[in-house]
Amino acid sequence: TYSLSVATVGCNFKCFFCQNYNISQSPSDLDKIEGRDVSPEELKNHALANGDKSISYTYTEPTVFFEYAYDTAKLASEKGLKNVFVTNGFMTKECIMMMEPYLDAANVDLKSFSEETYKRKMGGRLKPVLNNIILMKKLGIWVEVTTLIIPGINDSKSELQEIAKFLAAIDKGIPWHISAYYTQYKSDIPPTSVEQIRIAIDIGKSAGLKYVYGGNIPGSSYENTYCPKCNSILIERFGFSVSNNKVKHNSCVNCGQKIDGIFQED
């Protein structure tokens, strides 16, 4: 299904490697604000007119525009639209509890498993992010986790093993997206290699995670969803497009294994 993606400028982190810095660090660093005013009512109506099934609050940090996201999500939910946060997870428990009635899914950036890295490289803290991943799962929100692999920052085998172990202890069905980083913003670190992504994927699978993906590598087989039981390809992807979906009734068509996720039947 299609999702309408929306954002405002700004973020509560200051990641020197930010892949969306042109909007996340605006206007403080770039001295300009781009975009246009759209009311929650207009946004909801636009999604419905497009035939979208959900609204995703993404690109920057949705808690920075929480009131706008909340008002929009409430209106959207009343019309049967789903709501998705793509977030760094650095928010209060009160924020999650207030949003919970209208929040259907969240993709949380787990940028590192080091408090020191969070403090020095992002301007945040790790522990609240971990706690919020656990809380969202307990509340029944569909949770996926993304880690942007940055060479020399968070790509050690030991750190990746810690992340994988943490996620597997919560639920082995949590999808883990391991994304390739590209040199952006204030960083001069070379891009992530495909081999680094492969190593991280192997670590996730070795920890027992059933759905581990390699992102930001369009055309790679790492984008596809495989059955955790028979390993047959269930969902083939190219970038943001799905070219083939063989999941039927939340199950593998080959062996009948239940597939974790939220699926819309034809």
Q: Where are the domains of the chain?
A: 3-218, 224-266
Would you say residue 28 has pLDDT above 70?
no
Instruction: Return the pLDDT at 207.
Output: 99
Buried b (16+ CB within 10 A) or exposed e, 82-120: bbbbbbbbbbeeebbeebeebbbbbbbbbbbbbeebbee
Alpha carbon 241 to its chain centroid, in Å, reads 16
Percent of the chain with pLDDT over 70: 97
Q: Which residue has the higher pLDDT, 35 or 251?
A: 251
Residue 67 bridge partners (DSSP): none
Q: Flag the least confident range among 17-26, 40-49, 80-89, 108-117.
A: 17-26
Give the integer Cα–Cα distance in Å for 266 and 261. 16
* Residue with token string 């992807």: 237
* Mean per-residue pLDDT, 239-259: 93
Tell me the pTM. Answer: 0.95
- Tell me the CATH architecture of domain 3-218: Alpha-Beta Barrel (3.20)
Length of the chain equals: 266
Instruction: Return the pLDDT at 34.
Output: 74
Would you say residue 266 has pLDDT above 60?
no
Nearest to 141 by CA among 105, 93, 108: 105
Give the integer Cα–Cα distance in Å for 62 and 231. 35
Contacts of 45 by beta carbon, 8 Å cutoff, 6+ apart:
none
* Helix, strand, or coil (residue 148): strand
Instruction: Return the pLDDT at 240.
Output: 80
* Tokens read off for 85: 């946060």
- Say if CB 110 and CB 158 are below 8 A apart: no
Instruction: Return the pLDDT at 7.
Output: 94
Task: Please state, rounded to an integer, the average pLDDT across all residues of the chain.
Answer: 95
Residue 235 bridge partners (DSSP): 225, 245
- Residue-wise pLDDT for 163-216, tens only, equals 999 999 999 999 999 999 999 999 999 999 999 999 999 999 999 999 999 999
Percent of the chain with pLDDT over 90: 89
